Structure 1
Amino acid sequence: MRRRTKFLALAAPLLIAFGLGRAEGADEPDGSKRMVLVELYTSQGCDMCPTAEKILGALGEKNERIVPIAFHVDYFNDPWKDVFSDPLYSQRQATYNELYKKPKNAEYGLYYTPMLMIDGEQSVNGRDPTGAEAAIRKALAKKPGVGLDVALDVKPDGLTGMAAITVSSRSTRVEKTPLLVCAVLREDGVTTNVPSGENAGKSLVARYPARLTKYEFIELDGKSPATQRFPLIIEPSWKREKLRLAVFVQDKKTGVVHQAADFPWRSTGSR
């Protein structure tokens, strides 16, 4: 288990911020079902993280009602710089650490790798599949706090697209409070040869790593839905058949995720 030795100072809180069986090539989710967000905080510079990435991959493959994302932090980028790392993901994890003042892990808090966060509420060690599945089952039992309609329009070139995300209230607790609407593109199964650091000499396979993240805050008045649009541009080197778009809505104040969705990188109707 690794943690950062020097804490990241945040000017303001930032939250951008997983019934089992994912079929191969699973298509758009049923919007009436509860979906569960599973975040893995990981790093190619951490020797315990490859095991956690395999666990995240296994969870995503067998459970069609989870939305898995691997957020690669940047605080272990010495000597090897993680190719998926972004300071935004370190900030997101640090915000969880601030939000939950008394985490179960007294030594590391919620700022270590590998760490799983289930629906923004329950943290689990990334190498604990039993604990992760228990937290997922608990989250699946809850009703979604919002309705999600997502229309993804991918242009013929395959490199650009637009995600239109319409959020509607299903509970008074989501109204008149800041809600984070987040869209994350992930490319599954990317292999990286790591020449230095704790994983020196290894060929690492990344499961569901975040490639591109867009977010905005909205408020619902309880009367009408709100729509947020995100333009998306991918790199030509990314394998489009391995790209999926994760969408989730999260309470900025509490960290609770109210609903999530997962789509392949291709045009789809509103769901």
Structure 2
Amino acid sequence: MISKIFAGLLLLCVSGFGVAHAQAGATPKGVVELFTSQGCRSCPPADRALESLIRQGDVVALAYHVDYWNYMGWADTLASKENTARQYAYARSFGRSGVYTPQAVINGREQVKGTDAAVMNQRLETLDTSGSGLNVDVDATMRGDELSIKIGSGRGKADVVVVYFQRRRDVDVLKGENQGKTITYWNSVTDVQTVGMWHGGDLEVVLPAKLMKGDKSDGCAILLQASNAKGEPSAILGATVLIAP
């Protein structure tokens, strides 16, 4: 639908999925950020493709619901203006004049149509082979009332970004282009916060764990993400994901 204009991956059981066991020292294949909408007729296949990536257990996969299709008769119940703003920031970073759904951003470095899991896997593998994969260790653990994020050493500088999400939401779409469908959404983003700056050395950031245990989120991804000269999101250097107990 065209618009108008982990190192340290924690693999846990997600409700409805089989158990994926963590591997010590495992590094996620990469990060896929899907920009989607309940009001977009082209998006349900992309939502299923994202679910497929999550089932693999080796990809940090996130769904950002955007709000610019709400005028077509159905207001996306998971959308936010912040998610839309992130997609437009990526468009500027890529030198694009507009946005669309379903769009998938791969490792913060490139974009593809988000309907084909095989294509997204292939792009992740190509980026990794070319040295543009996840090269910095990222780990996250819950310790009582604290969320500890540890970043390893590497080259460059980047933001430590926490992306909070809801693991599963079943939505009855009552109007719009997907009227009458019940669609299951996974890893729907509810908030994105920059919590620190990494300058190439080992770093630990400690946050209140209660931020992951409210009604708005039951999991989070930690992205180590560089910015371009204008401050727009760019290459993701490391990532992991954590599910609240």
Fold shared by both chains (TM-score > 0.5): yes
Q: Is the 8 A contact 1:183 1:248 kept in 2?
A: yes
What are structure 2's unaligned runs of at least 5 residues?
none
Identify the match of residue 117 of structure 2 among 129, 146, 159.
129
What is aligned with 1:184?
A: 163
214 and 229 in structure 1: CA distance in 2 versus 1, 3 angstrom threshold? farther
Deviation sequence 1:146-189 (CA, Å, 0-9, x none): 2223222365xxxxxx422122322x3x2xx4x22122232333
What is aligned with 2:136?
A: 146
Deviation at 1:46, TM superposition (A): 0.6
What is aligned with 1:167?
A: 151
Deviation sequence 1:63-99 (CA, Å, 0-9, x none): x221000011111122322111111111111111111
Q: Is the 8 A contact 1:4 1:76 kept in 2?
A: no
Paired AA for residue 3 in structure 1: S
Q: Is the 8 A contact 1:35 1:261 kept in 2?
A: no
226 and 46 in structure 1: CA distance in 2 versus 1, 3 angstrom threshold? same
Q: What SS is found at the alignment partner of 2:234?
A: coil
154 and 201 in structure 1: CA distance in 2 versus 1, 3 angstrom threshold? farther
Q: What SS is found at the alignment partner of 2:90?
A: helix
- 1:28 and 1:184 map into 2 onto residues whose CA distance is 20
What are structure 1's unaligned runs of at least 5 residues?
6-17, 104-108, 156-161, 267-271
Scaled by the length of structure 2, the TM-score of the pair is 0.81
Scaled by the length of structure 1, the TM-score of the pair is 0.74
Deviation at 1:199, TM superposition (A): 1.3
The alignment of Structure 1 onto Structure 2 pairs a total of residues equal to 227
139 and 60 in structure 1: CA distance in 2 versus 1, 3 angstrom threshold? farther
169 and 84 in structure 1: CA distance in 2 versus 1, 3 angstrom threshold? same
- 1:144 and 1:95 map into 2 onto residues whose CA distance is 21
- 1:237 and 1:98 map into 2 onto residues whose CA distance is 29
131 and 183 in structure 1: CA distance in 2 versus 1, 3 angstrom threshold? same
Pairing 1:74–2:74 present: no
- 2:212 and 2:53 map into 1 onto residues whose CA distance is 28
Identify the match of residue 113 of structure 1 among 77, 101, 106.
101
Q: CA RMSD in A?
A: 2.6
- 1:165 and 1:201 map into 2 onto residues whose CA distance is 42
